[in-house]
Amino acid sequence: MAKKTDAQKAEEVGALARQYEALAAAEDDAAKKAEYARLALEAILEQAILLASPEGIAAATKALIEFNAAAAKTAKTNAELEAATKDMESSAESLAETLGGLIGLNATWEKSLLGTIDKISQSEAGIAKFNESMNKMVSISNLANAAMRATRDATLLFARAQEAAFAEFNKSTGALKLYKNEIRSLNHDMFIYGVTIQDATDATGHLVRNVTDFNSMNSSTVRNLQDTTSILAELGVAGDVTTSNIQFMTKSLGIGAETSAKFQRELFALGQEIGMPPGEMAEQFQAAKPVLAAFGKEAGKVFKDLAVNARKAGLEVSDLLDITGKFDTFETAAESVGQLNAILGGPYLNSMEMVMETDPTKRMQMLSQALNKTGKSFETMTYYERKSIAAAMGFKDVDQLAKVMAGNFDNAAGGIHKTKAEMEKLQEQQREFATLWE
For residue range 346-374, what is the model confidence (pLDDT) as tens digits?
A: 898 998 999 999 999 999 988 888 888 88
- Cα–Cα distances in angstroms (integers) from residue 202 to residues 64, 193, 226, 256, in the given order: 32, 15, 10, 23
Please state the rounded mean pLDDT for residues 417-430. Answer: 54
CB 182 within 8 A of CB 223: yes
Please state the rounded mean pLDDT for residues 221-226. Answer: 94
Q: What is residue 97's predicted lDDT score, i.e. its pLDDT?
A: 46
Question: Looking at the predicted structure, is the pLDDT value of residue 419 above 50?
Answer: no
Nearest C-alpha neighbor of 401 from the set 434, 438, 374, 431: 374
For residue 292, count other CB atoms closer than 10 A to its CB.
24
Portion of the chain with pLDDT greater than 90, in percent: 30
Q: What is residue 142's predicted lDDT score, i.e. its pLDDT?
A: 61
Query: Which one has a higher pLDDT value, 100 or 196?
Result: 196
- What is the C-alpha radius of gyration for the chain, rounded to an integer number of angstroms? 34
Query: Which one has a higher pLDDT value, 411 or 256?
Result: 256
Nearest C-alpha neighbor of 310 from the set 328, 327, 324: 324
Q: What is residue 198's predicted lDDT score, i.e. its pLDDT?
A: 86
Report the range out of 14-23, 170-179, 290-299, 325-334 with the highest average pLDDT: 290-299
* Pairwise CA distance, residues 249 & 299, whole Å: 9
Query: Which one has a higher pLDDT value, 245 or 420?
Result: 245
Question: Looking at the predicted structure, is the pLDDT value of residue 98 above 60?
Answer: no
Q: Exposed/middle/buried for 320, CB within 10 Å: 0-12, 13-18, 19+?
A: buried
Question: Looking at the predicted structure, is the pLDDT value of residue 413 above 80?
Answer: no
Instruction: Tell me the pLDDT tens digit for each residue of 244-283.
Output: 999 999 999 999 999 999 999 999 999 988 999 999 999 9
Please state the rounded mean pLDDT for residues 154-161. Answer: 69
User: Rounded to 5 degrees, what angle do the CA atoms 272, 276, 278 make?
Assistant: 65
Query: Which one has a higher pLDDT value, 59 or 82?
Result: 59
Question: Looking at the predicted structure, is the pLDDT value of residue 103 above 60?
Answer: no
Question: Looking at the predicted structure, is the pLDDT value of residue 437 above 50?
Answer: no
Portion of the chain with pLDDT greater than 70, in percent: 71
Q: What is residue 423's predicted lDDT score, i.e. its pLDDT?
A: 53
* Pairwise CA distance, residues 63 & 24, whole Å: 16
User: Rounded to 5 degrees, what angle do the CA atoms 303, 309, 311 make?
Assistant: 100
Long-range pairs, 181-184, Cβ under 8 A, ≥24:
182/219, 182/222, 182/223, 182/226, 184/52
Q: How confident is the model at residue 319 (pLDDT cuts 50, 70, 90)?
A: very high
| Cα atoms in the 13 Å half-sphere on the side-chain side of 301 | 9
Query: Which one has a higher pLDDT value, 352 or 33?
Result: 352
Question: Looking at the predicted structure, is the pLDDT value of residue 293 above 90?
Answer: yes
The full set of domain ranges for the chain reads: 6-165, 174-406
Question: Looking at the predicted structure, is the pLDDT value of residue 418 above 70?
Answer: no
Query: Which one has a higher pLDDT value, 41 or 174?
Result: 174
- Cα–Cα distances in angstroms (integers) from residue 295 to residues 12, 34, 253, 290, in the given order: 59, 68, 8, 10
Question: Looking at the predicted structure, is the pLDDT value of residue 333 above 50?
Answer: yes
Q: What is residue 87's predicted lDDT score, i.e. its pLDDT?
A: 47
Question: Looking at the predicted structure, is the pLDDT value of residue 302 above 90?
Answer: yes
From 68-72, 73-77, 402-406, the region with the lowest mean pLDDT: 73-77
What is the overall mean pLDDT for the chain? 77
Question: Looking at the predicted structure, is the pLDDT value of residue 8 above 70?
Answer: yes
Q: What is residue 167's predicted lDDT score, i.e. its pLDDT?
A: 86
Instruction: Tell me the pLDDT tens digit for each residue of 114-151.
Output: 344 444 445 555 545 545 554 554 455 565 666 666 66
Q: What is residue 305's predicted lDDT score, i.e. its pLDDT?
A: 93
Please state the rounded mean pLDDT for residues 206-230. Answer: 94
Q: How confident is the model at residue 172 (pLDDT cuts 50, 70, 90)?
A: confident
Q: How confident is the model at residue 436 (pLDDT cuts 50, 70, 90)?
A: very low
From 75-84, 305-314, 401-410, the region with the lowest mean pLDDT: 75-84
- Cα–Cα distances in angstroms (integers) from residue 75 to residues 66, 70, 83, 280, 300, in the given order: 14, 9, 13, 56, 62
Calculated CA dihedral for residues 170, 176, 177, 180, nearest 10 degrees: -150
Q: What is residue 140's predicted lDDT score, i.e. its pLDDT?
A: 56
CB 206 within 8 A of CB 242: yes
From 104-113, 326-335, 360-369, 421-430, the region with the lowest mean pLDDT: 104-113
User: Rounded to 5 degrees, what angle do the CA atoms 277, 304, 413 make?
Assistant: 105
